């Protein structure tokens, strides 16, 4: 019996190092696991970080401010052509207009294809302009060419005018675009990062496995939300940094205010994403739902162009969309240096969307 | 003795889905601490529904559940600390390593076991830094059990732990269950493999169509059969030898006829077989096949339900 007492029973090995986990051990482990999973998923890196930069680069180049566009016009060749060309040569705007002399059929064909903005025909009765009122550059060309020809022919303006050219950073398309892309990106990654991830875990029965352990459900949701905030900081830094470095964009507002707005946006769309995903059992069905929710905001919320172009009657609806609120607040702070306080309306809209979605999602949420 | 505490108890458990599908129709269980208890039954018998109600993951339509003397409502947080659960078909995150996965689950418990120790015990040390997505089926299943054991549970719930595994992986998992039991752990597992139930379980309940149709130690269940031996044979020639001829042979308790084979459940094969051979000779039939074996849980199931455990 004596040597039995001396020997340590093997099962005590397990109890010897008394491991103790603190209150937040689960949260920390969930967050760290989530971040590792994200980093190890090349698609995530591409869609969250690379894709918006490519989009900004592409659109920034396509809509860059070219020094005074040259207007391409066609002049129909006939016996009066040379006098028209002569007038153009003597006009002060000759460098802004490029005229090709063509037979009527070719000129009209190419006009139809958009190669020329205007077709000028001249005969004994004077000049005839063919333009397309639905094409802005065609409308502009008509005014521009008429002005040039009339001035060259000797018309004088009764009122003396002076103009100053203005193309300052802050008013260019790329300046408008970058905050919009940032907003859209926060929406995309919030909806996919939360909505898709949750349904994927539900489909894999991992959510069920988690709730079978003593994991706190609030820790799980907190960790998901926190992972969004970490990504948000990187998204903001990348897009704004890219705008500043590649397009000499000027950030007027405070960085803290920008991070606050972006963070609220990330949480808001995390909530909407959670609501979208609260019951779906299959990733196919949640993918459709996510696109359905995001589609109207891509169009109406002023990502690529100002929502002022939509009819007045739907403006209140557009302004109530969370992405509109996010884009408005981001633009006001980034481009105009607005204070956080002045943006209380869009911030409240985002808080309401995020808060309500989150509460409803929690009520309806299915862990299995 | 310490081992006589009741670890799991349930009374008149019922579960009806959508108001019509009765998955579980009144189950009573009383499982002692330190016991390995098996729920044996075919697919769709209600095993998973029963175990998930006991695990507190499903709510019963009616009935009582007590785990370690506590009911689920009001004690969920505490009970979860004491239970290790492995579900059927959980797919753990593929982009985490084995160690990261076990560490994640360890973080949920107040007093987890040491992660390296659990990995060692599960023979996963070599794979500790491998991504979960690259594991074999057996390794994944051991990892699933590792995530259950890392909480230092008193009770281990395993739902179909060896389904789809190769024989070696199955034996490895049985060894793990035995080790856990040696540390006075209680195990409740479901299976539709009768050999698993027979070798691993101290006691088991055979479940069919949401009810327990037999309960006891594997030996008791088999002994409960009238006729502990099975004589299986096939014949060729002779004309239309019906079951009633074989039933009249000495010592035959039950006759089954399937796939061209006859199976006689007998008490004493040494009395039955000579009589069988004589009967065949009289009919002018040839013996095409003859084996005798001990009756198994499969025979118990067939005796009770007229069907096989595995229909595939």
* A interface test, pick of B78, B85, B107, B179 with most A CB neighbours within 10 Å: B107
First to last CA, chain B: 44
Nearest to B93 among A14, A206, A214 (CB): A206
Q: What's B70's DSSP letter?
A: B
pLDDT of residue B80: 96
pLDDT of residue B240: 59
Q: Which residues of B touch A (CB under 8 A)?
A: 55-57, 77, 80-81, 83, 85, 87, 89-93, 95-96, 100, 103-114, 117, 147, 151-152, 182-184
Nearest to A205 among B89, B106, B183 (CB): B89
- Closest residue in B to A220 (Cα) is B108
**Range B273-282 burial, b when 16+ CB lie within 10 A, else e:** beebeebbee
Is residue B280 scored above 80 in pLDDT? yes
pLDDT of residue A8: 46
A237/chain B closest Cα distance in angstroms? 26
User: Over pLDDT 70: what percentage of chain B?
Assistant: 96
Q: Which CATH superfamily is domain A71-152 in?
A: abc type-2 transporter like domain (3.40.1710.10)
- Closest residue in A to B107 (Cα) is A26
For B212-240, what is the mean pLDDT?
A: 84
B210: left (phi over 0), alpha (psi -120 to 50) or beta: left
Cβ–Cβ gap B85/A212 under 8 Å: yes
Residues of A in contact with B133 (CB under 8 A): none
Adjacency order of strands within the sheet including B252-258: B252-258, B261-266, B229-237, B285-294
Cβ–Cβ gap A21/B103 under 8 Å: no
ipTM of the modeled complex = 0.88
For B245-262, what is the mean pLDDT?
A: 84
Cβ–Cβ gap A214/B104 under 8 Å: no
Nearest to B91 among A11, A19, A206 (CB): A206
Residues of A in contact with B83 (CB under 8 A): 212
Nearest to B57 among A25, A208, A214 (CB): A208
- Closest residue in B to A21 (Cα) is B110
Helix, strand or coil for residue B85? strand
pLDDT of residue A169: 60
For B251-272, what is the mean pLDDT?
A: 85
Closest CA to A333 of A261, A272, A264: A261
Enumerate the domain spans of chain A: 34-62+172-364, 71-152
Is the sign of the CA dihedral A299, A305, A306, A308 positive or negative?
Answer: negative
pLDDT of residue B86: 95
Residues of A in contact with B109 (CB under 8 A): 21, 213-214
Q: What span, in angstroms and rounded, lies between the C-alpha atoms of A51 and A43?
A: 10
Q: What span, in angstroms and rounded, lies between the C-alpha atoms of A327 and A299?
A: 13
B129/chain A closest Cα distance in angstroms? 14
For B288-312, what is the mean pLDDT?
A: 81
Cβ–Cβ gap A212/B110 under 8 Å: no
A21/chain B closest Cα distance in angstroms? 5
Nearest to B110 among A20, A204, A212 (CB): A20
Q: What span, in angstroms and rounded, lies between the C-alpha atoms of B122 and B149?
A: 10
pLDDT of residue A2: 42
Residues of A in contact with B103 (CB under 8 A): 29
Q: What span, in angstroms and rounded, lies between the C-alpha atoms of B187 and B155?
A: 6
pLDDT of residue A312: 93
First to last CA, chain A: 52
Q: Which residues pair with B14 in a beta bridge?
A: B25, B62
Chains A and B: how many Cβ contacts under 8 Å? 93
Element (H, E) at B64: strand B62-67
pLDDT of residue B62: 94
Q: What span, in angstroms and rounded, lies between the C-alpha atoms of A303 and A259?
A: 19
Is residue B190 scored above 60 in pLDDT? yes
| pLDDT string in tens for chain A (368-residue length) | 444 444 444 444 444 556 788 899 999 999 999 999 999 988 888 888 888 889 888 888 877 765 556 888 899 888 888 888 888 888 777 778 888 888 889 998 998 888 888 999 888 888 889 988 888 888 888 888 888 888 888 888 888 888 776 656 667 888 899 999 999 999 999 999 899 999 999 999 999 999 999 999 999 999 999 999 999 999 999 999 999 998 888 899 999 999 999 999 999 999 999 999 999 999 999 999 999 999 999 999 999 989 998 999 999 999 999 999 999 999 999 999 999 999 999 999 999 999 999 999 999 999 98
- Closest residue in A to B153 (Cα) is A213
A248: left (phi over 0), alpha (psi -120 to 50) or beta: left
pLDDT of residue A72: 87
Closest CA to A213 of B16, B190, B103, B43: B103
3-state secondary structure chain A: CHHHHHCCCCCHHHHCCCCCCCCCHHHHHHHHHHHHHHHCCHHHHHHHHHHHHHHHHHHHHHCCCCCCCCEEEEEECCCCHHHHHHHHHHCCCHHHEEEEEECHHHHHHHHHCCCCCEEEEEECCEEEEECCCCCHHHHHHHHHHHHHHHHHCCCCCCCCCCCCCCCCCCCCHHHHHHHHHHHHHHHHHHHHHHHHHHHHHHHCCHHHHHHCCCCCHHHHHHHHHHHHHHHHHHHHHHHHHHHHHHHCCCCCCCHHHHHHHHHHHHHHHHHHHHHHCCCCCCHHHHHHHHHHHHHHHHHHCCCCCCHHHCCHHHHHHHHHCHHHHHHHHHHHHHHHCCCCHHHHHHHHHHHHHHHHHHHHHHHHCCCC
- Closest residue in B to A9 (Cα) is B183
- Closest residue in A to B185 (Cα) is A11
What does the pLDDT look like over A132-179, one tens digit per residue? 888 888 888 888 888 888 888 888 888 888 877 665 666 788 889 999
Give CA A20 to chain center in angstroms. Answer: 46
Q: Which residues of A touch B (CB under 8 A)?
A: 11, 13-14, 17-21, 25-26, 28-30, 33, 36-37, 40-41, 204-206, 208-215, 368
A359/chain B closest Cα distance in angstroms? 22
Q: What span, in angstroms and rounded, lies between the C-alpha atoms of A78 and A102?
A: 9
Nearest to B108 among A11, A214, A368 (CB): A214
Cβ–Cβ gap A212/B103 under 8 Å: no
What does the pLDDT look like over B75-88, one tens digit per residue? 999 999 999 999 98
* B interface test, pick of A12, A28, A209 with most B CB neighbours within 10 Å: A209
Domains detected in chain B:
2-222 (3.40.50.300), 226-294 (3.30.70)
């Amino acid at each position: 019996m004596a040597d039995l007492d001396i020997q340590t029973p093997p099962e005590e090995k397990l109890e010897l190092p008394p491991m103790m986990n603190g209150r937040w051990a689960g949260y920390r482990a969930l967050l760290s696991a989530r971040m590792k999973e994200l980093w190890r998923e090349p698609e995530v890196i591409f869609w969250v970080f690379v894709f918006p930069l490519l989009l900004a680069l592409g659109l920034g180049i396509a809509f860059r401010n070219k020094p005074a566009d040259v207007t391409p016009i066609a002049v129909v060749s006939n016996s009066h052509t040379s006098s028209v060309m002569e007038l153009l040569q003597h006009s002060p705007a000759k460098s802004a207009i490029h005229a090709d002399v063509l037979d009527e059929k070719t000129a009209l064909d190419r006009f139809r294809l958009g190669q020329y903005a205007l077709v000028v025909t001249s005969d004994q009765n004077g000049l005839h302009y063919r333009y397309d009122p639905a094409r802005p550059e065609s409308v502009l060309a008509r005014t521009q060419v008429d002005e040039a020809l009339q001035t060259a022919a000797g018309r004088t303006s009764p009122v003396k005018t002076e103009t100053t050219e203005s193309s300052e950073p802050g008013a260019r398309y790329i300046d408008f675009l970058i905050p919009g892309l940032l907003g859209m990106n926060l929406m995309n990654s919030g909806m996919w990062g939360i909505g898709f991830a949750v349904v994927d875990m539900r489909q894999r029965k991992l959510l069920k496995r988690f709730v079978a352990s003593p994991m706190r459900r609030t820790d799980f949701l907190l960790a998901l939300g926190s992972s969004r905030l970490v990504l948000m900081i990187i998204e903001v830094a990348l897009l704004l940094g890219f705008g500043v470095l590649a397009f000499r964009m000027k950030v007027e507002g405070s960085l803290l205010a920008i991070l606050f707005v972006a963070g609220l946006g990330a949480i808001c769309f995390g909530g909407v994403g959670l609501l979208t995903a609260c019951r779906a059992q299959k990733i196919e069905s949640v993918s459709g739902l996510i696109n359905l929710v995001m589609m109207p905001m891509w169009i109406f919320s002023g990502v690529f162009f100002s929502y002022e172009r939509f009819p007045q009657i739907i403006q209140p609806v557009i302004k109530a969309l969370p992405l509109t609120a996010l884009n408005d607040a981001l633009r006001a702070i980034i481009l105009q240096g607005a204070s956080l306080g002045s943006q209380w309306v869009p911030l409240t809209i985002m808080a309401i969307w995020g808060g309500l979605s989150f509460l409803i999602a929690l009520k309806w949420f299915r862990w299995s | 003795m310490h081992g006589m505490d009741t670890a799991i108890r349930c009374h008149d458990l019922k579960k009806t889905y959508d108001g019509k599908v009765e998955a579980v129709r009144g189950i009573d269980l009383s499982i002692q601490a330190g016991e390995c208890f098996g729920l044996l039954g075919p697919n769709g018998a209600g095993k998973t529904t029963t175990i998930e109600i006991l695990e507190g993951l499903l709510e019963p339509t009616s009935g009582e559940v007590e785990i370690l003397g506590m009911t689920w409502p009001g004690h969920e947080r505490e009970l979860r600390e004491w239970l290790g659960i492995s579900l059927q078909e959980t797919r753990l995150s593929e982009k985490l390593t084995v160690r990261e996965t076990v560490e994640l689950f360890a973080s949920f418990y107040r007093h987890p076991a040491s992660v390296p120790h659990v990995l060692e015990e599960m023979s996963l040390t070599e794979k500790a830094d491998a991504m979960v997505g690259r594991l074999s089926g057996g390794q994944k299943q051991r990892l699933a059990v590792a995530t259950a054991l890392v909480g230092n549970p008193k009770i281990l719930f395993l739902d179909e732990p060896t389904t789809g595994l190769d024989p070696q992986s199955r034996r490895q998992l049985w060894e793990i269950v035995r080790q856990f039991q040696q540390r006075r752990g209680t195990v409740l597992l479901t299976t539709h493999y009768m050999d698993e139930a027979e070798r691993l379980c101290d006691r088991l309940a055979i479940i069919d169509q949401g009810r327990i149709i037999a309960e006891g130690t594997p030996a008791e269940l088999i002994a409960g059969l009238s006729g502990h031996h099975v004589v299986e044979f096939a014949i060729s020639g002779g004309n239309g030898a019906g079951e009633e001829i074989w039933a009249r042979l000495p010592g035959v308790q039950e006759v089954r006829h399937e796939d061209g084979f006859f199976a006689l459940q007998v008490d004493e094969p040494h009395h039955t077989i000579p009589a069988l051979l004589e009967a065949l000779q009289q009919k002018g039939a040839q013996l095409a096949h003859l084996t005798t074996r001990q009756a198994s849980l499969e025979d118990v199931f067939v005796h009770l339900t007229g069907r096989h455990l595995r229909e595939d």
